[in-house]
Amino acid sequence: MIKVLLADDQALVRGAFAAMLGLEPDIEVVAEVSAGDEVVDAARRTSPDVALLDVQMPGKDGLSAAAELHAALPSCRVIVCTTFGRPGYLARAMAAGAAGFVVKDASPEQLVDAVRRVHAGLRVVDPTLAAESLAVGRSPLTDRERDVLALARDGGTVADLAKALHLSEGTVRNHLSAAIGKTGARTRAEAVRLAEDSGWL
Amino acid sequence: MIKVLLADDQALVRGAFAAMLGLEPDIEVVAEVSAGDEVVDAARRTSPDVALLDVQMPGKDGLSAAAELHAALPSCRVIVCTTFGRPGYLARAMAAGAAGFVVKDASPEQLVDAVRRVHAGLRVVDPTLAAESLAVGRSPLTDRERDVLALARDGGTVADLAKALHLSEGTVRNHLSAAIGKTGARTRAEAVRLAEDSGWL
DNA sequence: ACCCCGCCATGACAGATGTCATGACGGGGC
DNA sequence: GCCCCGTCATGACATCTGTCATGGCGGGGT
């Protein structure tokens, strides 16, 4: 019997996943949580064999939660599951010690297969995404550039960003210019989009 | 026996929904599709009692699909289901003849309840979202302003938008300026965000 | 010690952006 | 018929952005 922990902020898909996995004779869902910072607690209580974590969650990012869980309970294998197949997510998930990475486009069979494979000690990764991940590579952005770009996401002016980060406007523009250059974009907004799609934000 | 059609582009959640609904003794999933333009076809073949449509789908928007389905098979009740609780989506779904609107944050019980209620001829709407929808109101944007703003989403320059829409640059800037004013934003990017969050795009 | 790199800052410049006034055209609505 | 509104356009203007050169500061690496 493979004991599984589910973490997803959307109750509907969480429940649906539980129902689907519950249909398998060798899988049992032992815990369900809706926020990233509940993961480790729940895992300590129920000691699952496999944890299925969504990336998008309130409280704590699914990727940080994966790292935390891997550190706290190394025996619990982690699968990261996400709506968006962003190359950077895969890289970060693997760096966080995840054993598997599944996109929500995958078939139901692939998910239960992934659970079994991961439980058996194997790694499960979408090959297409792995190739993309290698092609895109690691983020070329420095920490500050990422900060600035992340804040620029919600459409503030340079002055807003400077105030929020306690920087001079000129510095902000320099960071933005560098980010634009590195992402190959021609606009701040485009740079945000590209960085986001690559999972660099 | 309530016959249900499922439409969602993410195979994993589609399968999970099917598994969950299949557990109910009075519900039967008779069709699953992954694109908006397959909905009517599948419905014609399987004549479901209730159709559960996701908003985000390739091919054809879940909202347009809802309108089409309602026109083609009025006897089939439609529930629109979405990740994002955008007020404008609710309004458009209702305008399209949908009988229910469910966000993916809802509990599994709420979904099966919604299916039964809708099948019984009732309307099902999240009250919180309904209030928000009334507060936000209909989109203040004209068709052209919406077009321009939608294109501006991926971060092109004014020149790019003008070329794509076969307009003069000045006209594009006028439309953008109007959209910025109407949304209460102070930047093009902010206007995009606000309009998107309201479901106006 | 030296150099490279990230970070912060300043100043200057060209080009893009947002605003405004103004005007033309066509389609409703009263 | 008249007026309002949406669409498209032009021109002008102030401001914001993106780029570049330049320089100071501090932390590693070799």
Cα-flanking dihedrals φ and ψ of residue A23, to 5°? -70, -25
pLDDT tens for each residue of A135-152 = 888 889 999 999 999 999
Provide the CA B194 to C1' C20 distance, Å, integer. 24
pLDDT band at A125 (very low <50, low <70, confident <90, very high): very high
Q: Considering only residues 88 to 107 of chain B, which have any Cβ-Cβ distance to chain A shorter than 8 Å?
A: 102-107
A100-103, strands of its sheet edge to edge = A27-33, A2-7, A50-54, A77-82, A100-103, A124-125
Taking an 8 Å cut-off on Cβ atoms, the answer to whether B186 and A157 are in contact is yes
Domains (range + CATH), chain B = 2-136 (3.40.50.2300), 143-198 (1.10.10.10)
DSSP state of A171: H
pLDDT confidence of residue A136: 85
Å separating the CA of residue A143 from the C1' of nucleotide C1: 29
What is the 3 state secondary structure string of B132-173? HHHHHCCCCCCHHHHHHHHHHCCCCCHHHHHHHHCCCHHHHH
Closest CA to A102 of A139, A127, A68: A127
Yes or no, beta carbons of A102 and B12 under 8 Å apart: yes
CB-defined contacts A:B, below 8 A: 104
Among candidates B11, B104, B189 on the partner chain, residue whose Cβ is nearest the Cβ of A12: B104
Q: What band does A190 get if pLDDT is binned at 50, 70 and 90?
A: very high
Average pLDDT over residues B154-174: 96
- Output the pLDDT for position B136: 84
Q: Which DSSP string corresponds to chain B?
A: -EEEEEE-S-HHHHHHHHHHHHTSTTEEEEEEESSGGGHHHHHHHH--SEEEEES--SSS-HHHHHHHHHHH-TTSEEEEEESS--HHHHHHHHHTT-SEEEETTS-HHHHHHHHHHHHTT--EE-HHHHHHHHHH-S----HHHHHHHHHHTT---HHHHHHHHT--HHHHHHHHHHHHHHHT-SSHHHHHHHHHHHT--
What integer best gives the mean pLDDT of chain A?
A: 95
Q: Report whether pLDDT(B135) > 90.
A: no
Question: Could you tell me the distance in Å between the CA of residue A14 and the C1' of nucleotide D6?
Answer: 46
Nearest Cα of chain A lies from the Cα of B71 at a distance, in angstroms, of: 28
CA distances from B175 to A193, B179, B188 (A): 23, 6, 11
Q: Convert the pLDDT of each residue in A31-55 to its tens digit.
A: 999 999 999 999 999 999 999 999 9
CA nearest neighbour of B149 among B201, B85, B114: B201
Written as six digits, the tokens of A80 are 């990261």
Q: In this predicted structure, what is the pLDDT of residue B57? A: 94
At B68-123, the pLDDT tens digits run 999 999 999 999 999 999 999 999 999 999 999 999 999 999 999 999 999 999 99
Of B92, B121, B91, B3, the closest CA to residue B52 belongs to B3
Pairing of strands A50-54, A27-33: unpaired
What per-residue confidence (pLDDT) applies to A55? 95
Nucleotides in chain C near protein beta carbons (<7 Å) = 6-12, 16-21
Q: Which of A83, A107, A155 sits opposite B15 (nearest CB)?
A: A107
The predicted structure's pLDDT at residue B137: 83
